Amino acid sequence: MRQLGILGGMSWESTASYYRLLNQGVREHLGGLHSARLQLHSVDFAEVAELQRRGDWPAAGALLAEAAQGLERAGAGALLLATNTMHKVAASIEAAVQIPLLHIGDAVGQTLHQQGTQRAALLGTRFTVQQDFYRQRLAERFDIEVMIPAPEQVEEIDRVIFAELCQGVFQASARDFYLECLAELREQGAEVAILGCTEIGLLLEGVQAPLPLLDSSEVHVAMGLEWLLAS
């Protein structure tokens, strides 16, 4: 088995899901006592969130690039960045290491393309939803039209992510609001909903949603498993 590096802690709630799902996947494929060969660098999310708030993306990129170099030195042969938003600085990470970064946007885009999806709703932080680094990748590489909530809805989705989900708080009121946003996007023509924040899947787990849900963290883990187990 290869050795995979995880850049995590953004938040640790979703990173814990990555760790669990990767190990479950390896056990399902190999059986017995097998578990995933992983290196994990977990950052202090408060520091990263402050850089996001200030718009200091170069500093955020440098922080994660340094962490990626440490994982490479420790023996990782590829990287998973266990967050959607921080893929904004993917290029800084890729430039700092010699090993591949398995991009979450590609995991999402490949899955949507295979499903024949043309129009997808996107829920995530205001950075992921309103900036073009994520939407543009899906459009240019996979011909996916990305639909986003109304501006006031984006602000509330973002507030819930940072004030609640990233702190392990999952409330019915937040769940209902997210589902209302998806219902509106379905009426506008969305075929699938991308859960473009790795904590949203935890909030909506097991619910009956207005649209089929594509959990970005699950397809990202599947991409990591494919790399881990490749011969």
Known catalytic residues are: 83, 197
d(CA 198, CA 18): 9
The rounded distance, in Å, linking the Cα atoms of 109 and 142 is 6
* Contact indicator for 224, 22 with CB cutoff of 8 Å: yes
Q: 12: part of which helix (H) or strand (E)?
A: helix 12-30
- CB-count burial class (<10 Å; 0-12, 13-18, 19+) for 69: middle
Token pair 């708030």 in the structure block, residue: 53
Question: How many CA within 13 A on the CB side of residue 66?
Answer: 6
DSSP letter (8 states) at residue 198? T
The token duo for 20 is 């669990």
Residues 6+ apart with CB under 8 A from 46: none
Q: Is 132 exposed, middle or buried (0-12, 13-18, 19+ CB in 10 A)?
A: exposed
Residue for token pair 């708080």 = 169
**Alpha-carbon distance 81 to 101, whole Å?**
8
